[in-house]
Chains A and B, each alone.
Chain A
């Protein structure tokens, strides 16, 4: 087990790995961030599958842990490293003011896209693997909204790590499965805005006014303290002309079904849910 402390911006973070090869990659990639005079408990752990060990059935996953939580499992080491980079970058989101960083995810179904609060996704996933089958889920849990145009986009990377470095990690730890392509792009705009609430007495789906939709989005802005009131107008632009709904989250299965209903846009089903 290799474990070292690093400083990223204002944060001191420990990263450990069970793999000598991944440890060497971390050394090389984060050389400028390594700390020699401080200690830090491991916050991120990279568990790399041992692909030379052919025992067991099926393919072996690499796993990124944040404390004790598995953030991502993948057959592609580069995907794990990309997500680690994203997590390290995200430590600084609170202090940045080069965009509005909203904890919201772009969910897609049959070409229709919706912004959904990220914290609801693990809840909806309680309903099983059908969630991955029915929806295209995002690679990262935060979307950036441009401070002028209100266009959506990915959060810009602050740590300069080249694509070649990710390929290098793949070479070092080996590959048991196809290498994944680049991360899914964040569209500049979406079709639907969804917010969720817990109120078993209200109809399952309530159309939201644009002002309320902005209010719900702004509540999920990570750097609202930093950007302040400047966030409101771009958020209003981001949802201009979009359908906005408030969905019931009393039960995971219901939240899943309601999300399907709004993404499918079936008028009859929507009307029924609004008048229940």
Chain B
């Protein structure tokens, strides 16, 4: 089985602020806030390291046990995946992401239409 190396989707804008982060996802215009530990994991999601390696790096810096950190890293990566911030790793996730992007585009188009034609609230 191939080992997953999580990577943030290219379209996501990341604004790191004092150890935390605010992210903008153009598909659906979603905003995300990440606390210190989630931002730390996200920062390592560049597609070059596995979750185990991430845990090793963090454990080194913070002088913690690797197995404890790895649990937390896996949980955070699951959360980032659930928020669709990472590049999909399965066909199913990829299809879902494509559908979400398409429906976001349509929703924005529809919103524009509504704003043009319906100035009175019904």
Contacts and interface: CB of A to CB of B under 8 A. Distances in A.
User: What's the interface size class on B, roughly?
Assistant: 20 to 34
Nearest to B31: A218
B15 A236 contact: yes
A86 interface: no
A67 B31 CA distance: 32
A12 B112 CA distance: 14
A246 B93 CA distance: 36
B119 interface: yes
A211 interface: yes
Interface residues of A, number: 28
A236 B18 CA distance: 10
Nearest to A42: B120
B119 A232 contact: no
Contacts of A11: 115-116, 119
Contacts of B20: 209-212
A232 B108 contact: no
Contacts of B31: 215, 218-219, 224
| Interface residue SS majority, chain A | helix
Contacts of A211: 15, 17-18, 20-22, 33-34
Nearest to B21: A211
B119 A40 contact: yes
Given A67-B120, A211-B18, A94 B115 contact: yes
B121 A67 contact: yes
Contacts of B33: 211-212, 215
B122 to A, nearest CB: 11
B90 interface: no
Interface in B1-51: 12-13, 15, 17-18, 20-22, 24, 26, 29, 31-34
Contacts of A229: 12-13, 15, 24, 26
A231 interface: yes
Nearest to A219: B31
A233 interface: yes
Contacts of B24: 218, 224, 228-229, 231-232
Interface string A200-234: 00000000011110110011000011001111110
A41 B18 contact: no
A91 B34 CA distance: 33
A219 B24 CA distance: 11
Contacts of B29: 224-225, 228
B18 A210 contact: yes
A26 interface: no
With a 10 A CB-CB cut-off, give which of B18, B24, B32 has the most chain A CB atoms.
B24
Given A94-B115, A236-B15, A236-B17, A218 B22 contact: yes
Given A94-B115, A236-B17, A228 B120 contact: no
A263 B15 CA distance: 28
Contacts of A228: 13, 24, 26, 29
Contacts of B21: 211
Given A11-B116, A43-B119, A232 B13 contact: yes
5 contacts: A91-B119, A94-B112, A95-B112, A212-B20, A229-B24
> 8 shortest A-B CB distances, which residue pairs?
A229-B13, A211-B20, A232-B15, A229-B24, A211-B17, A215-B33, A10-B116, A214-B22
Given A211-B18, A229-B12, 16 more contacts: A10-B115, A40-B119, A41-B120, A43-B119, A67-B120, A210-B18, A211-B21, A211-B22, A212-B33, A215-B33, A228-B24, A228-B29, A229-B13, A229-B24, A232-B15, A232-B24
